[in-house]
Structure 1
Amino acid sequence: MGESTGIAKGILGFPVAPFTENGRLDEQALFENIRFLVEEGLDAIYIACGSGEFQSLDKAEYEVMLETANEAVAGKVPIYTGVGGNLRTAVELAAISEEKGAAGYLLLPPYLIHGEQEGLYRYASEIFESAPNLDAILYQRDNAIYSVETVRQLTAYPQFKGVKDGIGNMELNICLTHEFKGRLDFLNGMPMAEVTMPAYLPLGITTYSSAISNYIPHISRMYYKALLAGDQETLDELYTDVILPINSIRKQRKGYAVSLIKAGMEIIGLQTRGYVRPPVTPVTKEHYKELEQILGRALEKYPRKEKISKIKES
């Protein structure tokens, strides 16, 4: 099967799609938010994916998001896109990604249908073939869970470089990492990935997508360094003070994987608002206040070297 040249590793940034009150994409806010992530040292930018409300973007907005990401990143880190949905749309978005110079794409689930493994193989292979110059990463999630045998078949495509896990099936993860070590890279894509990273580390999985990096990237980096160093004392403190309290809110309502990120960004003063597109709903006032208190205490105990703004007045 050969050796993979690899994909970006470390803490991966998944920017949101900031919207104005009337529902338009806020390009300036997007630029500022992505530039913030790059300046804070995130290792790659994944644009127009789940946290970027992929399902609610039209083609023109998708292109604008990728163009804005290119401008904000300025070649400092690789950019990956979200590609998925119905097959024809996915092929079209892969072509746009290639045209605009993305390093690769995250293959999101197909729309609605729960296909057999043969169908998932054909779905992925047709998209792989449509953009042979882009690195492809499978996303194990929802109605797209690829078996070991299907992944084995797909490794015939040299552009297939990685698997992102969003389901938490550790038996499957063990089988995949054991068989494809050296051929594929693996990413933890579970919601609030910091919660589960200690379970992934023994499998050699050191790369993950971080929701909280959108608003407290210095704490995400502190967590990552402690994880790799085996600093359990620091990990325990971060779990108690920040990670588990935020995760507790995230689990309260569907859609908070997106809207809670926007609330956190708004609370610390980043260029965004809490506006989301249906079917995602905004964070309730009660949960917003709770998150505000968590972040206030967290930034007091773990201040960033240069504060971008003060926590809003309660």
Structure 2
Amino acid sequence: MAQPRIELDGLLAFPLTPFTDELELNLDAFAHNVQAHLAAGAAALFVGCGTGEFSALAPHEQAALLRTARDVVDARVPVWVGAGGGAANARAGVAAAEAGGADGVLLLPPYLVTGPQSGLIDHVRYAIGDSKVPVIVYHRSPGVFTAASATELLDLPTVAGLKDGYGDIELMSRIVAGIRGVGTPRSREFLFFNGMPTAEVSARAYASIGVARYSSAVHCFAPEIAARYHRALAEGDDATMDALLTGFYLPLVALRDETPGFAVSLVKAAARARGQKTGGVRPPLTEPTAEQLDRLERIIGDGLRVLAGLG
């Protein structure tokens, strides 16, 4: 079965999932945040994924996020949605995404259990079922592929790409080389993504092995910084990247690494600090302390000052 070529270039945004004070879904705030991503130049939206607290959402909430995003976007950019977990949930999520009109699915790893490489391929095959919606496979624990098994993904026509959240750049280099080396039109068009937390920090290294696409959590709260870094990477502007890394991204990562789950809850806190309605995070994620919030606001301020100095 031939699959149409998938174009996912530019800044890829992963909207936060806003909640009320009672931690119920806040679709009005979500619609507003989606519009803000569009206004800031997002080239595609991935809703209800890792940054969007996929693991904390019920299926009907995921469907509501997709429906709302599609209504707001009105076909201006692609809207992808998360699916994953156990085999049955992953299969149901892919089917629901297709029924809901998603442009594609980010397939998150299996839940709790691990299996051999053949089992990982079978998991992806089972999740896809007979759906026709394009799928990007999220390569991260407990769904880590070898170079050989990643190449087998080419046999699944709806699999459009692989997103790396595992962080072994040598392994990812082997995967890219192995798939590209097949030498078919499909292998040449297969997409690769850097899905590491605060991906800008590793973006240059990933770009050097042919993985230039990345998702930016910073786009949720400082899209002007995210856009400037993305442009600098495309232009090979090392001075600009170094300035933004040392003045903003590296201090942000140092704060993020203090507490498990801050890859999401710190981003939500930063978005609130800049006036967005996001609400809190669902457990087991936790909120930053008052002292951490003070540091977060200083980091954002420093980043904006660095950006202003770049011209």
TM-score range, shorter chain: over 0.9
CA drift of 1:271 comes to: 2.3
C-alpha spacing 1:251/1:217, structure 2 compared with 1 (3 Å)? same
In structure 2, distance between residues paired with 1:152 and 1:300 = 44
Q: Which amino acid aligns with 1:222?
A: R
CA drift of 1:177 comes to: 1.2
Runs of at least 4 residues of structure 1 off by over 4 A? 1-4
CA drift of 1:153 comes to: 2.0
- 8 Å CA contact 1:10–1:206 kept in 2: the answer is no
Q: Which amino acid aligns with 1:257?
A: A
Does structure 1 residue 154 correspond to structure 2 residue 153?
yes
In structure 2, distance between residues paired with 1:109 and 1:74 = 29
Equivalent residue, structure 2, for 1:189:
195
Equivalent residue, structure 2, for 1:138:
137
Equivalent residue, structure 1, for 2:231:
225
In structure 2, distance between residues paired with 1:251 and 1:143 = 21
Gaps of 5+ in 1: 304-314
- 8 Å CA contact 2:138–2:164 kept in 1: the answer is yes
Equivalent residue, structure 1, for 2:185:
none
In structure 1, distance between residues paired with 2:137 and 2:161 = 6
CA drift of 1:300 comes to: 4.0
- 8 Å CA contact 1:215–1:265 kept in 2: the answer is yes
CA drift of 1:4 comes to: 7.1
Does structure 1 residue 296 correspond to structure 2 residue 274?
no
**Count of matched residue positions in the alignment of Structure 1 and Structure 2:** 301
Q: Which amino acid aligns with 1:262?
A: K
Identity %, equivalent residues? 36
In structure 2, distance between residues paired with 1:82 and 1:129 = 16
Does structure 1 residue 18 correspond to structure 2 residue 18?
yes
SS at match of 1:23: coil
* RMSD, aligned α-carbons: 1.6
Equivalent residue, structure 2, for 1:255:
261
- 8 Å CA contact 2:3–2:157 kept in 1: the answer is no
C-alpha spacing 1:130/1:87, structure 2 compared with 1 (3 Å)? farther
- 8 Å CA contact 1:7–1:162 kept in 2: the answer is no
**What does residue range 171-182 of structure 1 map to in structure 2 within 5 Å?**
171-181=170-180, 182=188
In structure 1, distance between residues paired with 2:118 and 2:174 = 20
In structure 1, distance between residues paired with 2:35 and 2:189 = 32
Gaps of 5+ in 2: 181-187
- 8 Å CA contact 1:259–1:276 kept in 2: the answer is yes
- 8 Å CA contact 1:4–1:184 kept in 2: the answer is no
Q: Normalising by the residue count of structure 1, what TM-score does the alignment of the two structures yield?
A: 0.92
Does structure 1 residue 284 correspond to structure 2 residue 289?
yes
Equivalent residue, structure 2, for 1:216:
222
In structure 2, distance between residues paired with 1:276 and 1:130 = 35
**What does residue range 1-314 of structure 1 map to in structure 2 within 5 Å?**
5-131=5-131, 133-181=132-180, 182-273=188-279, 275-302=280-307
CA displacement 1:182-207 (0-9 Å, x = unmatched): 14110000111000011011122211
SS at match of 1:142: coil
- 8 Å CA contact 1:63–1:96 kept in 2: the answer is yes
Q: Which amino acid aligns with 1:123?
A: H
